[in-house]
Amino acid sequence: MTKQKEWPKELVFIDLNSGRFEFFNIELIKLGYNNFQVVFHQGKFNNKGRNVINRFNGEDSYLKAKKLAYNKFYEVKSEGYIRKEKMEEAILNAVKQEQKVDNEKKYKKKKTTYKSKTSNKCICDLCKQPIHFSLYEKINSWGRAEGNWDYELNSPLYNKVVCLDCQIDKGIFQKRIDNSFKL
């Protein structure tokens, strides 16, 4: 005698609210010529469960076994059980969706509601070209102290920072500013 499994149907029931995790397997097995058996295996996850075996002999044994298996399959399915493959697919899709959301959150740039003082401040006040922050600080400190750019409130360079290119073009590179200077 050879054992051939016809169609194992695996059903699962998962209720996360009440914590129920159950399974129900149906197997239609051919034992020999006109000898079939239907095995119902049910229980909770992480235990053996219990087996119920129904044997059929005779000419119509296959049809009777198949009818019993299908009837039990649809009866259990009507109680809320789902095929194992569909449940696995749904769980994998949910995990992928969760990972996608996590990745979007991880790599999403945070929008700030305030403006950074250094980003607006590090540009030339004449040509509006960006200046590197460290160079900007050096020009600003030199212009305020040695360059005498803030000698009066109406000075042409009062509270302004000028890039090196503009300083060279205007002829003020490393020169002190006085009342006679005009832009």
State the chain's maximal CA–CA distance in angstroms. Answer: 121
- Which residues touch 117 (CB under 8 Å, ≥6 apart)? none
Structure tokens at 141: 């400190």
Ranked by mean pLDDT, the top range of 106-110, 123-127, 147-151, 176-180 is 123-127
- Which residues touch 177 (CB under 8 Å, ≥6 apart)? 147, 148, 149, 151, 155, 156, 157
Going along the chain from its start, the domains and CATH numbers come out as 4-84 (2.20.140.10), 117-170 (no CATH)
Q: Which helix (H) or strand (E) holds 28?
A: strand 20-32
Distance CA 56, CA 60 (A): 8
Distance CA 4, CA 36 (A): 10
Q: Is residue 5's pLDDT more than 70?
A: no
Distance CA 140, CA 147 (A): 9
pTM for the full predicted model: 0.49
Amino acid identity for residue 26 in this structure: I
Distance CA 74, CA 163 (A): 81
- As a whole number of Å, the end-to-end CA separation of the chain is 107
Distance CA 151, CA 158 (A): 8
pLDDT band for position 63 (50/70/90)? very high
Q: What was the pLDDT predicted at 182?
A: 66
Q: Is residue 1's pLDDT more than 50?
A: no
| Cα–Cα distances in angstroms (integers) from residue 97 to residues 88, 109, 111, 120, in the given order | 14, 20, 24, 39
Q: What was the pLDDT predicted at 54?
A: 93
